[in-house]
């Protein structure tokens, strides 16, 4: 079953202890798609400017990603510039240039409206809701957001949470939006806002997953460590890559149960571990499903007692 992702396609400039790169192909929807494509047909909904390099369009298409609703508008492509220091756990944003993103009105073809698996990667929650309401038969809807929207569009975000099945957030966002410092409590509170499932990304510390509906009344908690990566070159897009692997596997499976969720979390984890090993999409562009499978075995070996 195919999947549709709404998000950003960006030109990222990053500086890390391993070097500096200018205007790399990036953005939440691009990173998501590069992992999800390993499992299913991906439809990408985003906007770029007229300055967007053609080679990136050619590349994304070559990955089997459907770009029929990628808008190309007059103006500049969304750009992000950031730097990572020390343990590379958090980015310092140096500059953000919204460009055409500031007037983004997602388009979607009639055929795409029927897609049942939907991921709303990080953009303005009002745009996310607007897009979601265009979709005819949402079956599994995932949502990502970020602190900026939690602070500036909290009401929109809370309203949107009622419409989604899975809310994906990092640990700080989870704490901020829920008001709870214990992450299990935070997940439960966030779930009470709407989504049956909550997935908290903890960077180098892995993920925590909560579902209130999969098992009994007390809910179900899964906790996976990150795949241990010694040489983290550029963590940009790791969370979106994780979401792409996770949602891609769920879309392919076509069903949700504890075993499928755990496998999806594991696929997301190893997909993200590849993403951080090189700049931008440099590692994930070479990735095939067999690479994930091999690392999955090593990953399991890291902790299964």
Task: Please report, as ranges, the residues that interact with a copy of itself according to CB under 8 A.
Answer: 86-88, 175, 181-185, 188, 202, 204-206, 208, 221-232, 259, 262-263, 265-266, 300, 302-305
Cβ closer to a copy of itself: 10 or 199?
199
Least gap, CB of 168 to a copy of itself (angstroms):
18
d(CA 157, CA 85) in angstroms, rounded, equals 31
Least gap, CB of 183 to a copy of itself (angstroms):
7
Cβ closer to a copy of itself: 46 or 224?
224
Cβ distance 180 to 192 under 8 Å? no
Cβ closer to a copy of itself: 263 or 285?
263
Cβ closer to a copy of itself: 93 or 182?
182
Least gap, CB of 52 to a copy of itself (angstroms):
34
Least gap, CB of 258 to a copy of itself (angstroms):
8
d(CA 149, CA 94) in angstroms, rounded, equals 18
Burial profile 140-155: b = 16 or more Cβ within 10 angstroms, e = fewer: bbbbbbbeebbeebee
Dihedral angle of Cα 182, 86, 28, 131, to the nearest 10 degrees: 40
- Give 13-17 contacts, CB < 8 A, sequence gap 24+: 13/79, 13/80, 13/81, 13/82, 14/81, 14/82, 14/83, 14/84, 14/234, 14/236, 14/279, 14/280, 15/82, 15/83, 15/84, 16/83, 16/84, 16/88, 16/233, 16/234, 16/279, 17/84, 17/85, 17/88
d(CA 30, CA 28) in angstroms, rounded, equals 6
Cβ closer to a copy of itself: 72 or 184?
184
Cβ closer to a copy of itself: 135 or 232?
232
Cβ closer to a copy of itself: 67 or 200?
200
Least gap, CB of 165 to a copy of itself (angstroms):
20
Least gap, CB of 286 to a copy of itself (angstroms):
22
Least gap, CB of 257 to a copy of itself (angstroms):
12
Least gap, CB of 47 to a copy of itself (angstroms):
36
Cβ closer to a copy of itself: 106 or 219?
219
**Cβ partners under 8 Å of residue 179, min gap 6:** 189
**Cβ partners under 8 Å of residue 156, min gap 6:** 124, 125, 126, 129, 149
Cβ closer to a copy of itself: 78 or 242?
242
Least gap, CB of 213 to a copy of itself (angstroms):
17
């Amino acid at each position: 079953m195919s999947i549709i992702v709404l998000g950003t396609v960006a030109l990222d400039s990053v500086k890390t202890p391993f070097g500096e790169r200018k205007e790399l192909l990036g953005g939440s929807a691009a990173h998501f798609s590069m992992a999800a494509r390993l499992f299913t047909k991906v439809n990408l909904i985003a906007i770029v400017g007229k300055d967007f390099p053609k080679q990136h369009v050619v590349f994304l298409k070559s990955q089997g990603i459907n770009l029929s609703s990628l808008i190309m508008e007059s103006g500049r492509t969304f750009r992000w510039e950031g730097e990572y220091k020390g343990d590379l756990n958090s980015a310092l944003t140096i500059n953000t240039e919204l460009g055409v993103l500031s007037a983004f009105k997602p388009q979607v073809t009639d055929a795409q409206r029927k897609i049942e698996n939907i991921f709303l990667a990080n953009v303005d929650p009002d745009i996310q809701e607007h897009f979601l309401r265009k979709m005819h038969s949402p079956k599994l809807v995932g949502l990502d957001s970020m602190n900026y929207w939690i602070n500036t569009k909290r009401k929109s975000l809370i309203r949107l949470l009622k419409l989604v099945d899975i809310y994906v957030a990092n640990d700080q966002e989870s704490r901020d939006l829920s008001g709870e410092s214990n992450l299990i409590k935070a997940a439960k509170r966030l779930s009470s806002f709407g989504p049956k499932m909550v997935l908290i990304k903890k960077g180098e510390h892995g993920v925590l997953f909560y579902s209130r509906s999969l098992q009994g009344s007390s809910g179900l908690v899964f906790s996976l460590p990150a795949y241990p990566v010694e040489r983290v070159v550029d963590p940009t897009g790791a969370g979106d890559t994780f979401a792409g692997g996770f949602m891609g596997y769920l879309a392919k499976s076509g069903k949700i149960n504890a075993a499928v969720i755990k496998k999806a979390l594991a696929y997301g984890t190893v997909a993200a571990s590849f993403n951080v090993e090189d700049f931008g999409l440099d590692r994930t562009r070479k990735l095939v499903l067999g690479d994930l499978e091999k690392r999955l075995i090593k990953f399991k070996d890291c902790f299964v007692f």
